[in-house]
Amino acid sequence: MSARATPPLDGIRVVELGGIGPVPHAGMLLASLGADVVRVERSGAEPDERAWDGTRRGRTVISADLKSAEDVRRIRALVAAADVLVEGFRPGAAERTGLGPDELRALNPGLVYGRMTGWGQHGPWAGRAGHDINYIGLTGALHAIGDDRPLPPLNLVGDFGGGSAYLVLGVVSALVRRGRTGEGCEIDAAIVDGTGSLMQLIWSLRADGRWQDRRAANLLDGGTPFYRTYRCADGGWMAVGALEPVFYRAMLDGLGLTGPDVPDRADPARWPELEALLASTFASRPRRHWESVFEGTDACVTPVLTMDEAPAHPHMAARSVLRNDPGGVLAAAAPREAGAEASYLTASTHLSVDEALRRWREPTAPRS
């Protein structure tokens, strides 16, 4: 945010019970929107144990033993001054520590209690262990991604797309409602739910007969010659998203493929020929050549940048999306207020539970 902008969650206090994957990412998103996030790590963990993980920045970090009645008492006192709590334990685990939603909302009726799991709070698999690949495997999403075998799309679809983003949406929506009613609520955010929601367009295409239930055979999964990646002469890659006819024609113009011998893209039977032609053309020149050819065009042909290249790309640099820091690349806060400069969360601050509680008990402006 710019120096003049007030972050949208300024004044909102969040307790984040330590976890991995979507929970710290949700805490990062809430902190980047201006929330004051206190992350509770297990006692005995080294202060820099997770220093490599940029999703844990921008917090106050405290250590506590959730098996200690005294530490739980202190955490409950912290929650009494909070607006939001987020946790990622298996169903029932928070209740066994004395930090379940019923107990805490009796203490703080306005509390928004956000629960993040893979399988959800109920259902036959609710108590099972799992990771991103397991959760999205149950939704149809993993089956749809890949070529000869399903390929995990990093952990972007499950942990973050279907997980933390939906948890934050639920939390922020509950805060809006609390502003009208004064009452908090419990949010059940499950990766299987969020991923199912992300898949809605694909389900609709399937129902309309426009999506086959197999990989690399459809419009958006690399099955079409005009929506996929192509290798260049230097080993680099170009991404082609020339779906609409006007974009497709611009791509052919850039490739110098304008004669009558170009296979008709409207005929799926000729797609293998078209794909071979496009592949051989892209492979004839290095990536930098094709970047130059398609610069400033609406052909929807762009480079596939490596992780090392991405921060320095002119567009990424102009928006300050990524910043090289001594500890690694940092992503700017997102979303950002229109016109505001990019901002980056700072390193976390370590305090004792009592120090964090004293800070929150200091007088502040009224909260929403």
Q: Do the beta carbons of residue 336 and residue 342 sit within 8 Å?
A: yes
Q: Which of 140, 143, 42 is nearest to 89 (CA)?
A: 42
Q: Do the beta carbons of residue 48 and residue 74 sit within 8 Å?
A: no
Cα 186 to Cα 54, 72, 93, 174, 177, distances in angstroms: 28, 20, 15, 9, 12
Residue ranges in the chain assigned as alpha helix (H): 22-32, 69-80, 93-97, 101-107, 132-137, 141-144, 165-181, 191-198, 200-207, 245-255, 271-282, 287-294, 314-318, 353-361
Q: Do the beta carbons of residue 40 and residue 62 sit within 8 Å?
A: yes
Tokens of 277: 């032609």
Residue 159 annotated to the active site: yes
Tokens of 39: 């992350």
Q: Do the beta carbons of residue 113 and residue 82 sit within 8 Å?
A: no
Q: Do the beta carbons of residue 321 and residue 333 sit within 8 Å?
A: no
The rounded distance, in Å, linking the Cα atoms of 357 and 368 is 20
The CB density around residue 269, as the number of other CB atoms within 10 Å, is: 8
Catalytic position from the list 36, 83, 132, 159? 159
Catalytic position from the list 131, 143, 313, 350? 131
Burial code (b: 16+ CB inside 10 Å, e: under 16) for 194-203 equals bbbebbeebe
Q: Which of 127, 117, 67, 122 is nearest to 96 (CA)?
A: 67
Cα 196 to Cα 26, 91, 133, 192, distances in angstroms: 19, 20, 14, 6
Residue 143 annotated to the active site: no
Q: Following DSSP, what letter does each residue of 235-249 receive, concatenated?
A: S-EEEEE--SHHHHH
Q: Catalytic residue positions?
A: 131, 159
